Amino acid sequence: MMKYEPPLEKISVNIRETVVGHGEKALKIGGENTLPFHFFEGSLPNPPGLALEILDTEPENWAPSVLEPFEDVVSDPVKWAKKCVEVFGAEMLCLRLLSADPMGKNGSAEEAAEITKIVADAVDVPLIVWGTDMEEKDAQVLTQVARACSGKNLLLAPLVKGNYEEIAKAAMEHGHAIVAQASMDANLTKELNIALCKFFPPEKIVIDPTASALGYGLEYTFSIIEEIKQFGLADKDKMMQMPILCDFGGDCWRTKEAKENREQGILWEAITGITFILAGANLLILRHPEALKLIKEMVV
């Protein structure tokens, strides 16, 4: 009787491996040459990176259930960062520079860079630094952050079509990685990556296709992530072989379902996260520490 040999799809290329942070706590993401959890077909050298977000200013309009774990530290980003690492076991943080938002306090780029350096010096885990999502202001803020934190290998985000050149040049000069963001479009993602790779090292680029919450567009996000990953692995497209980031904690906790009760909110965020990992995401930005714990138990 013939022995059954299951058909295996062997892929000859890899997603690039990106390193964020420095020293012993530096985190590697990407590097795989197969689809998520397909250990039987290839190599998945690095588990998905899981970051907890903190703000540089006290949050407004957060659901009580997600504010509760941090209510004693939200007025101080350094204490907030340390609690995420020391109490909740975060291996990576995402600092959002809301104080610089032109639609809010409109703090200066210099002030945002100073806060970032204080936080980066206070913890030894890798740091994602997220700007204001306003093109012109982020060009000012993220270039200042790059200079102030030279050599710390931050992950600067987001770079978009309208501001990528200035920020990426500052990131390259000062030794940082970047997040290239193109909203929900694989072709625009490739277009931005091609422009960046003319002068920026591709192994220091992470893709952000933009994400959405369970029940609020998750299926479309899933298909875009899956498409990008297939272009990179199956089609061997070098401009689509960067690790993928998903930032969705805020979107999850704005849903009416998450606001209804604590347990449902945590599950809403955790299910969204694990779904994106199944699609091919390499790095998640989360808001609730219990969601971080649940996802870590499932994937590590």
pLDDT of residue 300: 74
* Cβ atoms 131, 157 nearer than 8 A: yes
Kindly report, residue by residue over 72-91, the tens digit of the pLDDT.
999 999 999 999 999 999 99
Torsion of CA 22, 78, 285, 158, to 10 degrees: -80
pLDDT of residue 3: 87
Q: Of 96, 97, 77, 88, which is closest to residue 50 (Cα–Cα)?
A: 88
CA distance 281 to 278: 7
Kindly report, residue by residue over 215-243, the tens digit of the pLDDT.
999 999 999 999 999 999 999 999 999 99
Residue ranges for the chain with pLDDT beneath 70: none
CA distance 273 to 294: 10
pLDDT of residue 90: 98
The reply to whether the predicted model has a pTM over 0.75 is yes
Class of domain 17-299: alpha beta
Crossing angle of helices 186-196 and 218-233, in 10° steps, is: 50
CA distance 206 to 225: 13
